[in-house]
Amino acid sequence: MSIQNNINAIRLHIPSRAQLVCVSKFHSNNEIMEAYQVGERIFGESKVQEMCDKHETLPKDIQWHFIGHLQTNKIKYIVPFVELIHGVDSIKLLEEINKQAQKSDKKVKCLLQVYIAKEDSKFGFTAEELVDFLKQDILKDFEHVSVCGLMGMATFTDDKIQIRNEFKSLKSLFETVKMEFFENIAEFKEISMGMSHDFQIAIDEGSTMVRIGSSIFGARNY
Ligand SMILES: *Cc1c(COP(=O)(O)O)cnc(C)c1O
């Protein structure tokens, strides 16, 4: 299957309320352009250098989403052009994003990453940490950050019931914090969940953004 066929097949399962982030990490500019030519404009990258290089060379109407683990010392390189940072998992990171965004005189959109999986390798706030953090009401001091919602990754497993339950827990946490802390904040509306192997479950459970790589571009050669 070609990249274009893959996208057409995936698009059939994505309702208009959800956005498709084409995860192009480790894939070439030519491959990205194939997706671009069928109309895709949102691309996800997980390495700062790689995203900066691709932003340099590729069309300027591409929206770059950073989906990886971000180191504080590298934030400054992506802040001038990044559309959305998915994986914000510490106050320190938010502080630094705010600082760099202020220097660039812009407001950077972020999602707070929540740990929903039953494995050790995933980053994020636990539900409890997230609520504690929001209760401290320090987000209002970060005027150059716009928190647009939550992001999570389910356990890498074939157990569809477990995956569904993890996505349900993220959706319900979203509803809780939306009501308690973001009630009148219209931009707090995104739930970024779902990857190649589990995006259809994520869509069922209320995802507004799916991050799909290998089902579009094929296997990655690290
Ligand atoms: C790599 C990656 C994806 C895409 O994964 P696929 O299984 O290739 O669809 C999605 N989200 C994050 C955070 C990733 O790092």
Per-residue pLDDT tens digits for 80-133: 999 999 999 999 999 999 999 999 999 999 999 999 988 776 689 999 999 999
Ligand 1: residue whose CA is nearest its atom 12: 67
Whether 216 has a pLDDT exceeding 80, the answer reads yes
Position 220 scores a pLDDT of 80
Distance from Cα 9 to the centre of ligand 1, integer Å? 18
Using left for φ > 0, alpha for ψ between -120 and 50, and beta otherwise, residue 11 falls in: alpha
The answer to whether residue 12 scores a pLDDT higher than 70 is yes
Test site for ligand 1: of 22, 42, 50, 67, most ligand atoms within 8 A of the Cβ: 67
Separation of alpha carbons 62 and 44, rounded Å = 10
Q: pLDDT tens digits for 133-189?
A: 999 999 999 999 999 999 999 999 999 999 999 999 999 999 999 999 999 999 999
Atom number, ligand 1, closest to the C-alpha of residue 211 = 10
Kindly give the number of the ligand 1 atom that is closest to the alpha carbon of 195: 9
Distance in angstroms (rounded) separating the CA atoms of residues 192 and 198: 12
- Domains with residue ranges and CATH for the chain: 3-216 (3.20.20.10)
List Cβ neighbours of 222 (8 Å cut-off, separation of 6 or more): 26
Backbone angles phi, psi at 132, to 5 degrees: -55, -45
Tell me the CA–centroid distance for residue 195 and ligand 1, in Å: 6
Residues near ligand 1 (Cβ within 6 A): 23, 25, 46, 67-68, 153, 195-197, 211-215
| Contact assessment for residue 216 and residue 35, using Cβ atoms and an 8 Å cutoff | yes
Atom nearest to 220 CA in ligand 1: 8
Structure confidence at residue 43 as a pLDDT band (50, 70, 90): very high
Q: Quick check: 221 pLDDT over 80?
A: no
**Residue linked to tokens 């192009």:** 24
Position 122 scores a pLDDT of 67
Q: How confident is the model at residue 222 (pLDDT cuts 50, 70, 90)?
A: low
Q: What is the pLDDT of residues 53-78, one digit of tens each?
A: 999 999 999 999 999 999 999 999 99
Measure 175 CA to ligand 1 centroid, in angstroms.
24
| Nearest CA owner, ligand 1 atom 13 | 67
